[in-house]
Structure 1
Amino acid sequence: MRRADRLFQIVQLIRGRRLTTAKWLAQRLEVSERTVYRDVADLQYQGVPIEGEAGVGYRLGEGFDLPPLIFTPQEAQALVVMTRVAQQWLDPALARASESALSRVLSVLPADQRHAAQHTPVYSPPWGLTAEQQPHLQSWREATQSMHKLALAYSDAQGRSSDRTVWPLGSFFWGAVWTLVAWCEKRQAFRSFRLDRIQSMKGLTETFKLSDGQRLMDYLRQQGVDPQALAEGR
């Protein structure tokens, strides 16, 4: 990769994230961290308002205007494939949003790249979430974001049913099954629920407030997972 292309990529990668470490940039660009430090310093010298420092992380200053994102043919194909998968395995609202976002991306591509992306021979068969599971996944995601409690009727692996009031924290996709992580009021502990075993789900008007030891990052650390690594897909 030419250095000019690498500098452009650094700006684009920092642009799309809240905080970006030099280590992550080095891994993505397949260069040393020292090279990243030098490139970022050169960008800062040229007037690009990259805030932060080595060892902490970088972000773009507010108000900095960049030209529209430019996608490579392979990036456009990846977006098409991800949208096809999303339509089968995400909740209805996010599936529609992903399709809308993809339409915007395709609209700015040259005709030959758009045609190649749309005809990428990678598909996701229509065997994803059932009609009953889709609204449950959407309700869970929305309650997680608004911090509203949910009432569940749940059946475990042995077929035993129970009613729970939970504080939804996150959703995890395992390739064929979604698991939903929550703080369970009944058990006063973290619990995970398989989406396909939820018999009913009802949103409650009552909100919840998390304390230390009840947050998703606390659950992840209990499982031996680095929250930052998970967020970065490592």
Structure 2
Amino acid sequence: MSRAQRLLDLIQLLRGYRRPVSGAVLAEALGISLRTLYRDIETLNAQGAHIDGEPGIGYVLRPGFMLPPLMFSEDEIEAIVLGSRWVADRTDAALSGAARSALAKISAVLPPDLKAGLDTSGLLIGPGTAIATGDAELPVIRSAIRTERKLRIFYQDGSGRSSNRTIWPFALGFFDRVRIVVAWCELREGFRHFRTDRISKVQAVDKRYPRRRQVLLKEWRASEGIPNGSEFHY
């Protein structure tokens, strides 16, 4: 096992404990000596982890530590690169810029051998059908989803009928040709799907919707017969 993989396994192991766990338990689980464990804990703390504890008492990982990219496997790096390239090519301008920025940050801290693989990756994003309009509204919609705020939209359905809606947006689906807002619609008193290219105007409402986004997402999945982790088909 490489040292990078061992450090990754140690972090993952610590994340499974909410209370201090002894060094002996950790060392046994990883198949290493206590001396190696103590050295690895010092290394992780130097990299920004906050592992509280000391020999004889136990260790606990404070929440919030993000693994540096150099601890990713080659397959994981390729997955990140491919996903970032898809986002950069197939989403709105703000997310596209964020994806390119994230990829540049990852590239800046990768060791030379892995960085070469990133720059010469053979996994490419092919051209797709032109995406329908609606990019301008996406940053407002994404912000409303994150903050659990209501939106007022002016919408035209597939039959050309126009309506004003107040919705509780809790998900945004990206498809090859369209983007779909998944929301609770106050007008229809139920879950509805809205194509962003059919939204002529969107207004943020400075009011939280009365239910948590996670609850709405769970209930919507149940109503659509979509198991957790499965894809949303439109």
Distance in 2 (alpha carbons) for counterparts of 1:211 and 1:107: 38
Corresponding residue number in structure 2 for 1:28: none
Question: C-alpha deviations, 1:70-125, integer Å up to 9, x for none?
Answer: 23334333322222211122333332222222112111223343233223241343
Whichever residue aligns with residue 169 of structure 1, its letter is: F
The 8 Å contact of residues 154 and 200 in structure 2, kept in 1 or not, is answered as yes
Measured on the aligned residues, the alpha-carbon RMSD in Å equals 3.9
Which structure has the larger Rg over C-alpha atoms? 2
> After the TM superposition, which residues 1-234 of structure 1 pair with which residues of structure 2 at under 5 Å, given as runs?
2=1, 8-11=7-10, 42-43=29-30, 61-62=61-62, 68-69=68-69, 70-121=71-122, 122-125=124-127, 129=131, 132-210=133-211, 215-227=216-228, 229-230=229-230
Whichever residue aligns with residue 29 of structure 2, its letter is: D
Match of 1:78, SS state, is helix
Match of 1:140, SS state, is helix
Match of 2:187, SS state, is coil
Whichever residue aligns with residue 61 of structure 1, its letter is: L
Corresponding residue number in structure 2 for 1:25: none
Q: Which runs of 5+ in 1 are unaligned?
A: 21-37, 50-59
Distance in 2 (alpha carbons) for counterparts of 1:84 and 1:189: 35
Question: C-alpha deviations, 1:7-41, integer Å up to 9, x for none?
Answer: 555445578xx889xxxxxxxxxxxxxxxxx9997
| 1:68 to partner: Cα distance | 3.4
TM-score of the aligned structures, taking structure 1 as reference length? 0.66
The 8 Å contact of residues 173 and 180 in structure 2, kept in 1 or not, is answered as yes
The 8 Å contact of residues 80 and 118 in structure 1, kept in 2 or not, is answered as no
Aligned positions, number:
200
Q: After superposing the two structures, state which structure 1 stretch, 188-197 or 5-14, moved more.
A: 5-14
The 8 Å contact of residues 133 and 195 in structure 1, kept in 2 or not, is answered as yes
1:189–1:19 CA distance, 2 compared to 1 (3 A): farther
Distance in 2 (alpha carbons) for counterparts of 1:67 and 1:184: 39
1:135–1:41 CA distance, 2 compared to 1 (3 A): farther
Distance in 1 (alpha carbons) for counterparts of 2:91 and 2:113: 29
1:149–1:66 CA distance, 2 compared to 1 (3 A): closer
Distance in 2 (alpha carbons) for counterparts of 1:67 and 1:207: 33
TM-score of the aligned structures, taking structure 2 as reference length? 0.66
